[in-house]
Amino acid sequence: MNILILGGGGREHALAWAIQQNPKCDRLIVAPGNAGIAAMAECAALNIEDGGAVAVFAEENAVDFVVIGPEAPLAAGVADRLAAAGILCFGPSQAAAALESSKAFTKAICDASGAPTAAYGHFTEAEAARAYVRAQGAPIVVKADGLAAGKGVIVAGTLAEAEAAIDEMFGGSFGGAGAEVVIEEFMEGEEASFFVLCDGETVLPIGTAQDHKRVGEGDTGPNTGGMGAYSPAPVMTDAVCARALDEIVRPTMAEMARRGTPYRGVLYAGLMIADGRPRLVEYNVRFGDPECQVLMMRLGGQVLDLLLACAEGRLAEARVNWSDDHAMTVVMAARGYPGAYEKGSVIGGLDALSEDSAHMVFHAGTAEAGGQVVATGGRVLNVTARGASLAEARERAYGMVDRIDWPGGFYRRDIGWRAL
Ligand code: AMP
Ligand code: GLY
């Protein structure tokens, strides 16, 4: 098969790496890709949020299957455009992608399906929002309704912070994403991510993970897109997974189908678990980044069969082959991230690393310049390893990190501390 993956981060490098191991994959193209992906697959320049352009490219290149990595093309309706052109595609429709692109939509689905989540209010103007937080008290969580690249959530410890967040959102700092605001009860507990495939009817769990969102060791400092992750998440016991499926995921999928907008793709449920009871924090309609990197490391080439079964509505006959292993990824980021950072610093030592089914450096923000790999983003490398235990996976991952020569970068040394 000819396969096209949309995206250019560590998530897409990991997807490409796993998909390419499957003998069904003949030709692999990633748009736009990055320097790491270019070493293993074809990269193509393409506006991946333009469904028409993606469909034309797919037809010109005899692409049999398109895998959509990030949320922006999904929210822009690229999956719908490909479906209309008769091109097989992994990723939900624009209507189903509202589970990520609108927090108010997700809350309404939770209300309709009875899925446990934080109590909330939904506001279209600041005064009513301020009155609500004053009535509820702090801590409280203020969220821009729309997509805000992971920056639209403020966990406010005080009323003053909550009111400042409301003013900022309605003041336009998040653009259209902040025109509506959801304000939520602060939930306590341990967070974990649960990944399932859904073909509109059948739900198939494909793994759990935990990430580290804060930039600093000990989970301190500002939020980032994620500084590292590991899989499985110990808090996601079989009992918690079963409750999450029965109480949250399946009712959501049933409600989406009932509304005539069945969900097809990977659903990433962000959960808060307290006393063995999971509650929904948020949905994402794509793989997490960097959570995907640890999932791909554990699943390997079977991923292509699973994504195909999902896209073709055959999940009822699909099986996941688990090995009892663990994976960890350590994110190396450019100094200054998540604030301002420099681009263009040279990364050395990558060629000397031996990569295999248990050791991979996925590239997140790199380019090739004059024969060297240079950093082009905030999160730049995802150093990923697998082992029989989480401790072994960690040892292998940091063993690789230590051999990478990148003075312009930094990383956390304590990924996995909670689980270890
Ligand atoms: P989200 O983008 O909705 O996942 O929010 C980003 C992060 O904010 C989550 O991963 C949580 O750590 C935190 N968060 C969001 N909503 C809540 C909530 N209701 N209670 C506690 N923490 C939350
Ligand atoms: N790592 C969090 C996310 O992908 O949204």
Same domain (yes/no): 170, 199: no
Ligand 1 centre to CA of 155 (Å) is: 7
Same domain? 7 vs 43? yes
Q: What pLDDT is stored for residue 150 in this prediction?
A: 67
Query: Quick one: average pLDDT of 287-308?
Result: 98
Q: Looking at the domain assignment, is residue 379 inside a domain? A: yes
Domain-ending residue, one of 268, 296, 317: 317
User: What distance in angstroms lies between residue 211's CA and the mean position of ligand 2's atoms?
Assistant: 8
Query: Is the residue at 185 inside a domain?
Result: no
DSSP 8-state secondary structure symbol assigned to residue 78? H
Cβ count within 10 A of residue 354: 6
Verify that 261 and 170 share a domain, yes or no. no
Q: Are residues 170 and 237 in the same domain?
A: no
Average pLDDT over residues 333-343: 95
Q: Total structural domains in the chain?
A: 4
Residue 106 lies in a domain: no
Clarify whether residues 201 and 310 are in a common domain: yes
Q: How confident is the model at residue 87 (pLDDT cuts 50, 70, 90)?
A: very high
Q: 334 and 306 share a domain? A: no
**What are the pLDDT digits (tens) for 109-165?**
999 999 999 999 999 999 999 999 999 999 999 998 888 776 788 899 999 999 999
Nearest CA to ligand 2 atom 2: 288
The values of phi and psi at residue 184, to 5°, are -125, 150
Residue type, 59: E
Sign of the CA dihedral 271, 274, 278, 282?
negative
pTM of the model: 0.95
In angstroms, the CA 152 to CA 327 distance is 29
Q: In 3-state terms, what secondary structure has residue 268?
A: strand
Task: Tell me what the mean pLDDT of segment 167-175 comes to.
Answer: 83
Is 98 domain-assigned? no
- Ligand 2 center from residue 199 Cα (angstroms): 22
Q: Is the CB of 282 under 6 A from ligand 1?
A: yes
Q: Are residues 77 and 133 in the same domain?
A: no
pLDDT in tens, 22-60: 999 999 999 999 999 999 999 999 999 999 999 999 999
Whole-number Å distance, alpha carbon 101 to ligand 1 midpoint, is 15
Q: What are the structure tokens assigned to 222, written together?
A: 């500002």
Question: Is the distance from CB of 200 to CB of 283 less than 8 angstroms?
Answer: no
C-beta 71 within 6 A of ligand 1: no
Are 77 and 153 within one domain?
Answer: no
Ligand number nearest CA of 293 is 2
Query: What CATH number does residue 84 fall under?
Result: 3.40.50.20
144 in the same domain as 47 = no
184: confidence class by pLDDT, cuts 50, 70, 90: very high
Decide if pLDDT at 404 tops 70: yes
The DSSP code sequence of 111-136 is: HHHT--B--EEEESSHHHHHHHHHHH
Of 264, 293, 317, the domain-final residue: 317
Measured CA to CA, the distance from residue 210 to residue 368 in angstroms comes to: 31
CATH code assigned at 158: 3.30.1490.20
In angstroms, rounded to a whole number, what is the distance separating the alpha carbons of residues 397 and 408? 19
Q: Residue 27: helix, strand or coil by DSSP?
A: strand
Report the CATH number that the domain containing residue 405 is assigned in CATH. Answer: 3.90.600.10
| CATH code for the domain of 304 | 3.30.470.20
Q: Is the dihedral of CA 114, 150, 311, 105 positive or negative?
A: positive
The amino acid present at 185, given as its one-letter code, is: E
The answer to whether residue 89 sits within a structural domain is: yes
Domain of 136, in residue numbers = 125-179
Give yes or no for residue 177 having a pLDDT over 90. no
In 3D space, the residue among 214, 217, 417, 414 whose CA is nearest the CA of residue 330 turns out to be 414
Atom 19 in ligand 1: which residue has the minimum CA distance?
186
Query: What is residue 39's predicted lDDT score, i.e. its pLDDT?
Result: 94
| Ligand 2 probe mutation, 289, 296, 329, 330, most atoms within 8 A of CB | 289
Tokens of 321: 């082959």
Taking each continuous run of H as one helix and of E as one strand, the counts in the chain are 14, 23
Does residue 107 sit within a domain? no
Residue 178: predicted pLDDT: 66
CB atoms within 10 A of CB 98: 22
Chosen domain end from 179, 204, 221: 179
pLDDT band at residue 323 under the 50/70/90 scheme = confident
Least confident segment among 165-174, 264-273, 391-400: 165-174
Q: 54 and 153: one domain? A: no
Please give the distance, rounded to the nearest whole angstrom, from the Cα atom of residue 186 to the centre of ligand 1.
8
Do 297 and 229 touch, CB atoms closer than 8 A? no
Amino acid identity, position 404: I
For 152-156, 206-210, 294-298, 299-303, which range has the lowest pLDDT when averaged over its residues? 152-156
Atom number in ligand 1 closest to CA 281: 16
* Alpha-helical regions (H) of 2-70: 10-20, 35-38, 51-60
Q: Is the dihedral of CA 89, 90, 93, 94 positive or negative?
A: negative
Distance 379 CA to ligand 2 centre (A): 12
